[in-house]
Amino acid sequence: MTTHGGAAGCRFPRGQSLLETVMMLPLFLTLVFALLQIGYIGFAVAIVHYAASSVGRLAVENNTPQVAAFQPHFSSLMMAGLKPLPLSSTQDPAEDPLTPTVTINACASIPAYPFVGDFLKPILGGALASGSSCADNDPHAMGPVSLTGSGPYQFLIHGQTTVRMNYQPGG
């Protein structure tokens, strides 16, 4: 056997470091790509929440709880692979009709990196959100994020904001 640098008396067989590198490379690459996916999801959550609050601000400025008209504005804020889904709003009927509170739901989807969905599916127990709906009560959501599809997988990002409409006398 030959010795390679290091502490005196420490002997490594030829090729051991190459074998260790080859064995650890998949784990290292998995960690790197997982960190990239987490960063991408964090970026998407921030963008979707900002877009929801921007649509809420427009709804208050125009004094309309119907947010479907602001879909082009919402779509223009999506970047870096985010695909916007239809906006929705809910108004509590028990609220004061002069200054109602409106909750705006904004959703977008981003593609999951290869193998991420296959890796998360067993962890989630096979419980993936069906379709491309962004319901508040999705039991499979991980905070504002849920995984959907059967391949290629998509992450659904849910953003929400609540606004109070302005008082409009006579309206």
Q: Write out pLDDT tens, residues 38-95.
A: 999 999 999 999 999 999 999 999 888 888 899 999 999 998 889 999 999 988 777 7
Residue 51 lies inside a defined structural domain of this protein: yes
Contacts of 68 (CB under 8 A, 6+ apart): 86, 87
Residue 9 lies inside a defined structural domain of this protein: no
Kindly tell me if the per-residue pLDDT of 125 is higher than 60. Answer: no
Is residue 104 within 8 A of residue 93, CB to CB? The reply is no
Residue 171 lies inside a defined structural domain of this protein: no
Beta strands 83-84 and 101-111: pairing type?
antiparallel
Number of compact structural domains in the chain: 1
Q: What is the Cα–Cα distance from 106 to 83, expressed in whole angstroms? A: 11
Residue 8 lies inside a defined structural domain of this protein: no
Residue 133 lies inside a defined structural domain of this protein: yes
Residue 90 domain boundaries:
16-164
Is residue 95 within 8 A of residue 138, CB to CB? The reply is no
Kindly tell me if the per-residue pLDDT of 23 is higher than 80. Answer: yes
Judged by average pLDDT, the poorest of 16-25, 70-79, 86-95, 119-128 is: 119-128
Q: What is the Cα–Cα distance from 122 to 3, expressed in whole angstroms? A: 45
Kindly tell me if the per-residue pLDDT of 22 is higher than 80. Answer: yes
Q: What angle do CA 119, 121, 123 make, to 5 degrees?
A: 80
Phi, psi of 108 (to 5 degrees): -145, 160
Q: What does pTM read for this prediction?
A: 0.78
- What distance, in Å, lies between the first and last C-alpha atoms of the chain? 91
Residue 132 lies inside a defined structural domain of this protein: yes
Residue 2 lies inside a defined structural domain of this protein: no
